[in-house]
Chain A
Amino acid sequence: MTGFLARRLVGLGLTLFLASLVVFAVLEVLPGDPALLMLGVDARPDTLAALRAQMGLDRPVPVRYLAWIGGLLGGDMGVSHTYGVPVGDLVRDRLAVTVPLAALAILLSTAVALPLGMAAASRRGRPADYAVMAFSQLGVAIPNFWFGILLVLWLSVGLGWFDAGGFPGWSTGIGPALKALALPAFTLGLTEAAILARITRAAILDSLGEDYVRTARAKGLGPGAVMRRHVLRNALIPITTIVGLQFAFLLGGAIVVENVFFLPGLGRLLFQAISQRDLIVVKDVVMVMAALVVAVNLIVDVLYAVIDPRPKALP
């Protein structure tokens, strides 16, 4: 296990290093002068030069790369061009929205999808199965931004139960913050639940056909015990994989829903930073997202080992 972890950690570091090179290179070739963007169409050349120097844009490329990476390794993410505040603060503020949102969505989706998938698998070919499959089909087919708009029109504009969007900040208390995250989490969770229910059903059906299930039944175990002790345990591996992937996707990919509900999340920060050519923020946010995704993958790998402790050839 230790050797496995060590190898994974080295791979993780290498992945992040490659990501940093790619991000930096891509941003170098992207057209658009951040200083000009800040000053607008009335900019005068001397003001522009002063601002470029202030932003450190006049230094050579390798110097800027090393300064950036060196800063990151030392825990300094630099200062945002547009906001003029440390990027670390910005990212922390945005993670405080995005991580709880993703976690809520995953919680909702697993809470809905696991029972549904199990129910469908154990009633294969019966009406309950068709109902679950229909829900899943619908959930995957409905674009989540559209579903979000629908929820807002119904629950916010129509009934006034929720705000149409926005995030008041955790400083106003857990209640208002969770209330603000409820609709977006539900919106995101629906699609994820639809996919997960499908995966769960298929994984359980796969396990149900295995020899050990037949053996367990032959031993005289009841259907509930077979499900708990044998089927579910083996089906958990593909389910964990998908939940891990979904969480990684939600961390970066929730941007559309963040726009519908005007939530200040990490995805929207990245989006705005790209259009404003706030290059340091773009670089840092991409790295943070990459690190989160890699970390989630690592956790999933470790979970495999916990779920299925049989010794095996590790990748």
Chain B
Amino acid sequence: MKSSPLLIAAALLAAGALLPAGAAAQNRDRLVIGMQLEPPHLDPTAGAAAAIDEVTYSNLFESLTRIDARGEVVPGLAESWEVSPDGLTYTFKLRPGVKYHDGTGFDSADVKFALDRARGADSVNAQKGYFSAIGSVETPGPLTVAVTLTRPDGQFLFNMGSNDAAIVAPETAATNRQRPVGTGPFRFDRWVSGDRVVLARNPDFRDPAVPKLGEVVFRFISDPAAQLNAVRSGDVDAFPNIGATESLPVLEADRSFTVTVGTTEGETVLALNNARKPFDDVRVRRALAHAVNRQDVIDGAMFGYGTPIGSHFAPHRAGYVDLTGLYPHDPAKARALLAEAGYPDGIDAVIRLPPPVYARRGGEIIAAQLAGAGIRLRIEPMEWAPWLEQVFRGRDFDMTIVSHVEPLDIDIYDRPDYYFGYRSDRFGAVMDELSRTVEPDRRAALYGDAQRILAEDSVNVFLFQLPKAGVHKAGLTGLWENSPVPANDVTAVSWK
């Protein structure tokens, strides 16, 4: 039988009338998430790449505690914990009935193995510092773990909720890079190298109501134009952190998509070499802060997405102090400060820019702004690898622009050899007290002090908090709007 063209046309028309475009044949059980970068491997305990966390966090791997969408510490594999009065011993009560994806059981021995492995001598854990306060890990019972610290660590419970502290089994730890085995609600299905990672529902998960999806596909699309095409053609259902920021207004105008703009842990700064002339002079650094107009940088380099910051701290965190008004945009004031520091004719400097758009575009805007205050910049674009080698490790730079994306990383200003070349006993004392303080209000106050010191010393020119700009199909719920830790936690995601 030959189907007549007329019949086909009629069928197409009928289908078109019944189903609104874009929503045709939506699979309710499947989610396709777009990501900019492919993870190098899938073992979060052996790599710094955020892309690893963005696939595995809470989906495949779980930690003792867990960071929720608001950045709060909630129970993870430990259903509760007690802290000794001196703040040194944490006793975790583990969840019973937990199984790894390979069917083996989970108990306190796994926790001890995972923590000891992460802090061991040959550990390649990218956040080894998280475990440095641990003195010993003991297992009084199969569902009890006692971690004793050598010094109080106010950040301990948060850090134990990170993906770097994921609990892995001794039998599978070595092969997690390619075939990850965790305890999460999804298990690893397959990896098409260079294209996608597929996760499937873990049918044996302890909570039968979780997850709501049967399959989650992570697709890796680095080119911004290709990202937009993938979203608009319906290939991907959500792009939680899209690189094509300039295309967001187009998607915002389309009712079949929802655009969300949240915050990340990325403090974007114009970093200054405090150890090198003339930036060792606080007046010069303050002059730079007066010469830069943050909002123009955000508008020009980020299409208006991004929150201005006045110090090295994320605005959504407890203890945040708004210091953006400390150095209002004032080129005349900047010139006066430079003259006072002994540079009446201005200064010449080199700005080395890594590849991200915020750095390259931001650098050009800042160079133009600084020129207005008599600071002549030579722009030197760099690739990541030489940037890390020369600027970060070699500390051979005047200025650079980079986003510091680790959560609560204000302590980098207290590291003796960090690339800013900043030293302050006053700041060191605050950090010292902070590391010994557990009480939340006191910690918030100390974080406030730390931010003020950095802003007063104008260590860097603090620009903005990197936005988490994303888009997803209307009707999808449960995705994180903010990024308190790098993650695409899809355990609560479903289609309406």
Contact = CB atoms under 8 A, between A and B. Distances in A.
Interface of A: 30-34, 36-44, 46-47, 50-51, 54, 82-85, 90, 93-94, 97, 149, 152-153, 156-157, 160, 163-169, 171, 259-265, 268-269, 272, 275-277
Contacts of B412: 42
A83 B51 CA distance: 13
B434 to A, nearest CB: 18
Contacts of A152: 226, 229, 233
B388 A36 contact: yes
A40 B226 contact: no
Given A50-B122, A50-B123, A260 B386 contact: no
4 closest cross-chain pairs (CB), A and B? A264-B194, A32-B385, A40-B48, A82-B40
Contacts of B194: 93-94, 97, 167, 263-265, 268-269
Given A32-B383, A47-B125, A41 B223 contact: no
Q: Which of A33, A153, A166, A264 has the most CB of B within 10 A?
A: A166
Contacts of A163: 233, 235
A93 B123 contact: no
B385 A41 contact: no
Contacts, number: 155
B3 interface: no
A41 B233 contact: no
Interface in B190-236: 190, 192-196, 219-223, 225-226, 229-230, 232-235
9 contacts: A40-B48, A41-B392, A42-B48, A47-B125, A51-B124, A164-B229, A165-B235, A259-B222, A264-B193
Interface in B368-396: 383-386, 388-390, 392-393
A84 B177 contact: yes
B404 interface: yes
A47 B124 contact: yes
A166 B48 contact: no
A275 B229 contact: no
Contact of A41 (B123, B193, B404): B404
Nearest to B232: A157
Given A164-B232, A262-B195, 10 more contacts: A33-B393, A34-B385, A43-B126, A44-B128, A44-B129, A46-B128, A90-B193, A94-B193, A262-B221, A262-B230
Contact of B195 (A34, A167, A277): A167
B196 A33 contact: no
A215 to B, nearest CB: 52
Interface residues of B, number: 51
Nearest to B177: A84
Contacts of B195: 166-169, 262-264
Contacts of B121: 50
Nearest to A45: B417
A205 B373 CA distance: 67
A32 B127 contact: no
B47 interface: yes
A149 to B, nearest CB: 6
A93 B393 contact: no
A83 B40 contact: yes
Contacts of B190: 169, 171
Contacts of A156: 229, 233, 235
B178 interface: yes
Contact of B386 (A32, A263, A268, A276): A32
A177 to B, nearest CB: 11
